[in-house]
Protein backbone atom coordinates (compact mmCIF):
# COMPACT_ATOMS: atom_id res chain seq x y z
CA UNK A 1 0.00 0.00 0.00
CA UNK A 2 1.31 3.45 -0.88
CA UNK A 3 0.44 7.03 -0.11
CA UNK A 4 -1.60 8.37 -3.02
CA UNK A 5 -0.25 11.88 -2.47
CA UNK A 6 3.18 10.65 -3.56
CA UNK A 7 1.86 9.71 -7.01
CA UNK A 8 2.71 12.45 -9.52
CA UNK A 9 -0.38 11.53 -11.54
CA UNK A 10 -2.53 12.10 -8.42
CA UNK A 11 -0.87 15.50 -7.89
CA UNK A 12 -1.55 16.47 -11.53
CA UNK A 13 -5.13 15.20 -11.27
CA UNK A 14 -5.67 17.19 -8.08
CA UNK A 15 -4.36 20.37 -9.74
CA UNK A 16 -6.63 19.74 -12.71
CA UNK A 17 -9.58 19.42 -10.32
CA UNK A 18 -8.70 22.72 -8.64
CA UNK A 19 -8.48 24.41 -12.04
CA UNK A 20 -11.85 22.97 -13.11
CA UNK A 21 -13.45 24.28 -9.92
CA UNK A 22 -11.90 27.69 -10.57
CA UNK A 23 -13.23 28.02 -14.12
CA UNK A 24 -16.70 26.64 -13.35
CA UNK A 25 -17.30 29.40 -10.79
CA UNK A 26 -18.01 31.65 -13.78
CA UNK A 27 -20.46 29.30 -15.50
CA UNK A 28 -24.10 30.36 -15.84
CA UNK A 29 -26.17 29.63 -12.73
CA UNK A 30 -28.59 27.51 -14.78
CA UNK A 31 -25.68 25.08 -15.39
CA UNK A 32 -25.06 24.53 -11.66
CA UNK A 33 -26.77 21.11 -11.67
CA UNK A 34 -25.85 20.38 -15.28
CA UNK A 35 -22.51 20.97 -16.91
CA UNK A 36 -20.88 22.57 -13.85
CA UNK A 37 -21.71 19.55 -11.72
CA UNK A 38 -20.64 17.08 -14.44
CA UNK A 39 -17.29 18.82 -15.00
CA UNK A 40 -16.53 18.90 -11.30
CA UNK A 41 -17.58 15.30 -10.75
CA UNK A 42 -15.50 14.01 -13.68
CA UNK A 43 -12.45 15.99 -12.50
CA UNK A 44 -12.53 14.92 -8.86
CA UNK A 45 -13.20 11.35 -9.88
CA UNK A 46 -9.65 11.16 -11.25
CA UNK A 47 -7.67 11.77 -8.03
CA UNK A 48 -10.32 10.16 -5.82
CA UNK A 49 -10.14 6.88 -7.75
CA UNK A 50 -6.36 6.95 -7.51
CA UNK A 51 -6.64 7.55 -3.76
CA UNK A 52 -9.09 4.70 -3.33
CA UNK A 53 -7.08 2.39 -5.56
CA UNK A 54 -3.87 2.84 -3.58
CA UNK A 55 -5.71 1.50 -0.55
CA UNK A 56 -6.44 -1.81 -2.24
CA UNK A 57 -4.37 -4.87 -1.46
CA UNK A 58 -3.51 -6.03 -4.98
CA UNK A 59 -2.11 -4.47 -8.13
CA UNK A 60 -5.07 -5.91 -10.01
CA UNK A 61 -7.53 -3.98 -7.82
CA UNK A 62 -5.42 -0.82 -8.04
CA UNK A 63 -5.28 -1.13 -11.84
CA UNK A 64 -9.08 -1.30 -11.98
CA UNK A 65 -9.35 2.03 -10.14
CA UNK A 66 -6.70 3.58 -12.39
CA UNK A 67 -8.79 2.45 -15.37
CA UNK A 68 -11.86 4.13 -13.87
CA UNK A 69 -9.81 7.33 -13.47
CA UNK A 70 -8.87 7.04 -17.16
CA UNK A 71 -12.54 6.89 -18.09
CA UNK A 72 -13.14 10.01 -16.02
CA UNK A 73 -10.38 11.88 -17.89
CA UNK A 74 -12.05 11.00 -21.19
CA UNK A 75 -15.37 12.22 -19.85
CA UNK A 76 -13.75 15.42 -18.59
CA UNK A 77 -12.19 16.08 -21.99
CA UNK A 78 -15.60 16.02 -23.62
CA UNK A 79 -17.14 18.30 -20.99
CA UNK A 80 -14.28 20.76 -21.48
CA UNK A 81 -14.85 20.73 -25.23
CA UNK A 82 -18.58 21.26 -24.69
CA UNK A 83 -17.84 24.15 -22.32
CA UNK A 84 -15.61 25.72 -24.95
CA UNK A 85 -18.21 25.15 -27.69
CA UNK A 86 -20.84 26.89 -25.54
CA UNK A 87 -18.42 29.80 -24.97
CA UNK A 88 -18.32 29.17 -21.22
CA UNK A 89 -14.52 29.07 -21.28
CA UNK A 90 -12.03 30.94 -23.41
CA UNK A 91 -9.76 29.36 -25.98
CA UNK A 92 -6.77 29.87 -23.64
CA UNK A 93 -8.57 28.15 -20.76
CA UNK A 94 -9.63 25.29 -23.01
CA UNK A 95 -6.13 24.78 -24.41
CA UNK A 96 -4.60 24.80 -20.91
CA UNK A 97 -7.13 22.39 -19.40
CA UNK A 98 -7.05 20.11 -22.44
CA UNK A 99 -3.25 19.91 -22.21
CA UNK A 100 -3.48 19.11 -18.48
CA UNK A 101 -6.05 16.38 -19.07
CA UNK A 102 -3.96 14.88 -21.88
CA UNK A 103 -0.92 14.79 -19.61
CA UNK A 104 -2.92 13.05 -16.89
CA UNK A 105 -4.28 10.61 -19.47
CA UNK A 106 -0.77 9.71 -20.68
CA UNK A 107 0.37 9.19 -17.09
CA UNK A 108 -2.63 6.99 -16.29
CA UNK A 109 -1.99 4.87 -19.37
CA UNK A 110 1.64 4.48 -18.32
CA UNK A 111 0.57 3.44 -14.82
CA UNK A 112 -1.93 0.94 -16.22
CA UNK A 113 0.78 -0.59 -18.41
CA UNK A 114 3.30 -0.71 -15.55
CA UNK A 115 0.76 -2.36 -13.24
CA UNK A 116 -0.14 -4.84 -15.98
CA UNK A 117 3.49 -5.90 -16.27
CA UNK A 118 3.74 -6.34 -12.49
CA UNK A 119 0.55 -8.43 -12.49
CA UNK A 120 1.91 -10.67 -15.26
CA UNK A 121 5.22 -11.05 -13.40
CA UNK A 122 3.36 -11.97 -10.20
CA UNK A 123 1.22 -14.57 -11.98
CA UNK A 124 4.33 -16.03 -13.62
CA UNK A 125 6.15 -16.22 -10.27
CA UNK A 126 3.18 -17.87 -8.55
CA UNK A 127 2.89 -20.35 -11.43
CA UNK A 128 6.56 -21.28 -11.09
CA UNK A 129 6.15 -21.78 -7.34
CA UNK A 130 3.07 -23.91 -7.88
CA UNK A 131 4.70 -26.06 -10.53
CA UNK A 132 7.79 -26.44 -8.36
CA UNK A 133 5.72 -27.64 -5.42
CA UNK A 134 3.91 -30.13 -7.66
CA UNK A 135 7.27 -31.40 -8.89
CA UNK A 136 8.48 -31.85 -5.29
CA UNK A 137 5.28 -33.68 -4.35
CA UNK A 138 5.65 -36.04 -7.31
CA UNK A 139 9.26 -36.87 -6.43
Q: What pLDDT does residue 117 have? A: 78
CATH number assigned to the domain with residue range 4-114, chosen from the 4 options 2.30.110.10, 1.20.1440.60, 1.10.10.10, 3.40.640.10? 1.20.1440.60
Domain layout of the chain by residue ranges: 4-114
- Collect contacts of 45-49 with beta carbons under 8 A, ≥24 apart: 45/69, 45/72, 45/75, 46/13, 46/16, 46/17, 46/72, 46/73, 46/76, 46/104, 46/108, 47/4, 47/10, 47/13, 47/14, 47/17
pLDDT tens for residues 77-115?
Answer: 999 999 999 999 999 999 999 999 999 999 999 999 999
Q: Which of 5-14, 88-97, 111-120, 123-132 has the lowest mean pLDDT?
A: 123-132
What whole-number distance in Å separates Cα of residue 135 and Cα of residue 77?
53
15 within 8 A of 100, measured Cβ to Cβ: yes
pLDDT tens for residues 45-85?
Answer: 999 999 999 999 888 899 999 999 999 999 999 999 999 99
Q: What is the 3-state secondary structure (H, E, C) of the chain?
A: CCCHHHCHHHHHHHHHHHHHHHHHCCCCHHHCCCHHHHHHHHHHHHHHHHHHHHCCCCHHHHHHHHHHHHHHHHHHHHHHHHHHHCCCCCHHHHHHHHHHHHHHHHHHHHHHHHHHHHHHHHHHHHHHHHHHHHHHHHC
Amino acid sequence: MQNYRNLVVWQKGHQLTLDVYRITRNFPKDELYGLTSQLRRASYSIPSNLAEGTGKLTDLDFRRFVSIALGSVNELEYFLFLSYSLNYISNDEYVKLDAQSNEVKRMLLGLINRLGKRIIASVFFISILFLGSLFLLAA
